[in-house]
């Protein structure tokens, strides 16, 4: 494992994630929206997340900037990063499979939206966010640069902390007791252990 291979692994993870999403974007686009929460705050959250998980690391991979924040490269850490990247992609695939046309980039309720509680959603309420956390950790381990590596954790962390509450309120508003019961038997990012 070398820094170049680790950077290539990061780019490959981003490319595969993008390709994986294409059919779901198409399907979701065809499903009409009943309620949209894409306000200025949500747009800002999405921009911060995209900057941290995608734009900053891509600039780093392409140009080496910001060189002053370079850290030493650890092959072992990078291998762990590869493992987490693969895990992130697997979880992404499972979430899209289960959520189908109810998936959306922002907080939206679609027409005749159904609460999904099967597949990976049977134990975890926000597995797609679990996948993004895995992505952010993989990025930190793969890129030997403090800023480009940690920007994913900061960017996605901001989105996650500011969004998961409003998202659950929106789902509670829509599904009421059905969502309350679902919350009781699931964990947000990891399966509930007891």
Interface with ligand SAH, residue 95, by CB under 6 A = yes
Among 11-19, 40-48, 104-112, 135-143, which window interacts with ligand SAH (CB under 6 A)? 104-112
**Hey, is 66 helix, strand or coil?**
coil
Q: How many residues bind ligand SAH (CB under 6 A)?
A: 17
Interface with ligand SAH, residue 126, by CB under 6 A = yes
CA separation for the pair 90, 85 (Å, rounded): 9
Interface with ligand SAH, residue 128, by CB under 6 A = yes
For ligand SAH, which is the closer residue by CB, 45 or 126? Answer: 126
Interface with ligand SAH, residue 107, by CB under 6 A = yes
Out of 10, 17, 60, 103, the residue judged to bind ligand SAH by CB under 6 A: 103
Sign of CA dihedral 70, 157, 102, 100: positive
Decide: 116 and 102 in contact? Cβ < 8 Å.
yes
| CA count, 13 A, side-chain hemisphere, 94 | 21
Interface with ligand SAH, residue 108, by CB under 6 A = yes
CA separation for the pair 13, 20 (Å, rounded): 10
Q: Provide the minimum distance between the beta carbon of 78 and ligand SAH in the complex, in angstroms, as a whole number.
A: 27
Interface with ligand SAH, residue 104, by CB under 6 A = yes
Interface with ligand SAH, residue 172, by CB under 6 A = no
> What residues contact residue 28 under an 8 Å CB cut-off, 6+ apart?
101, 102, 103, 104, 110
Dihedral-angle region of residue 72 (phi above 0 means left; psi in -120 to 50 means alpha; beta otherwise): beta
Interface with ligand SAH, residue 136, by CB under 6 A = no
Interface with ligand SAH, residue 50, by CB under 6 A = no
| Binding residues for ligand SAH (CB under 6 A) | 95, 99, 102-104, 107-109, 115-116, 121, 126-129, 167, 171
């Amino acid at each position: 494992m070398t820094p170049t291979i680790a950077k290539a692994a990061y780019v490959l993870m981003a490319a595969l994630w993008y390709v994986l999403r294409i059919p779901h974007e198409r399907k979701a686009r065809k499903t009409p929206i009943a309620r949209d929460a894409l306000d200025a705050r949500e747009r800002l959250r999405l921009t911060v997340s995209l900057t941290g998980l995608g734009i900053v690391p891509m600039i780093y991979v392409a140009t080496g900037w910001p060189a002053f924040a370079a850290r030493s490269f650890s092959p072992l850490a990078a291998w762990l990063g590869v493992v987490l990247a693969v895990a992130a992609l697997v979880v992404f695939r499972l979430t899209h499979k289960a959520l189908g046309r109810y998936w959306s980039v922002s907080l939206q309720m679609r027409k005749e939206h159904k609460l999904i509680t099967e597949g990976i959603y049977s134990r975890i309420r926000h597995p797609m966010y679990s996948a993004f956390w895995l992505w952010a950790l993989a990025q930190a381990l793969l890129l030997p640069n403090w800023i480009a590596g940690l920007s994913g954790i900061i960017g996605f962390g901001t989105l996650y902390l500011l969004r998961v509450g409003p998202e659950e309120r929106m789902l509670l508003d829509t599904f009421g007791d059905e969502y309350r019961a679902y919350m009781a038997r699931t964990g947000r990012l990891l399966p509930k252990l007891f």
